[in-house]
Amino acid sequence: MRKYTLPMLLLLFLLGPALSRAVPNPKLVMPEFQGLAQKASESVTITLDPTLLSLAGRFLDGNDPQDAATKEIIKGLRGIYVRSYTFDKDEAYAQSDIDAVRGQLSAPGWNRLVETHSRKTRANVDIYIMIDHDQAVGLALIASEPRQFTIVNIIGAIDLDKLHKLEGQFGVPKLDIDTSKTPAQGAHK
């Protein structure tokens, strides 16, 4: 047994980095944004790990349509992270705050699904999705508006159809994303 130990360790040492590279990590490292939080008139910081998601699932009422839809969505999720800051004046945040997160989305595995810019509202929304074995395993959304800056990172098996349902549940019109297409096809990247 002992004679196999050294070769096994060597093999692990050599394959370790390769294996860790092979598994995409959809979790973004959220900067502290402490300066932004102080400047913001309103801030939302949500960190939901698998334990909290499971706990929340137990408190969602299956008989309530909104709760039932939410329960269905979070079933396959492993984390939801939201940072949103609202300011009293325009351009209160620096572009570098967004870039700190956007830089992470150039990592392999992430595909830009939608990139929008509205002249009317001066809002930019970028939606990225991470695919692993034909399954969406992560979603990142960066929305920058003159007075608001939002980052959403959802980790886990995301079903876009269920997200569509969710949009309906919250009284928001459904997003016309053709889920039959792979994100790579729809990407602007």
* Binding stretches for other proteins (CB under 8 A): 44, 46, 48, 52-53, 55-56, 58-60, 66, 70, 73-74, 80, 82, 84, 114, 116-118, 120-121, 123, 125, 127, 141, 143, 145, 150, 152, 154, 163, 166-167, 170, 172-176
* Nearest partner of 129 among 172, 184, 84, 166, judged by Cα: 184
> In the complex with other proteins, which residue's Cβ is closer, 16 or 112?
112
Residue 125, burial from CB neighbour count under 10 angstroms (0-12, 13-18, 19+): middle
Shortest approach of other proteins to residue 9 CB, angstroms?
41
> In the complex with other proteins, which residue's Cβ is closer, 98 or 143?
143
Shortest approach of other proteins to residue 13 CB, angstroms?
40
Residue 57 in contact with residue 71, Cβ under 8 Å? yes
Residue 137 in contact with residue 158, Cβ under 8 Å? yes
Residue 176 tokens read as: 């016309």
> In the complex with other proteins, which residue's Cβ is closer, 132 or 145?
145
Q: CB atoms < 10 A from the CB of 140, how many?
A: 25
> In the complex with other proteins, which residue's Cβ is closer, 41 or 118?
118
Rounded CA separation 182/129 (Å):
10
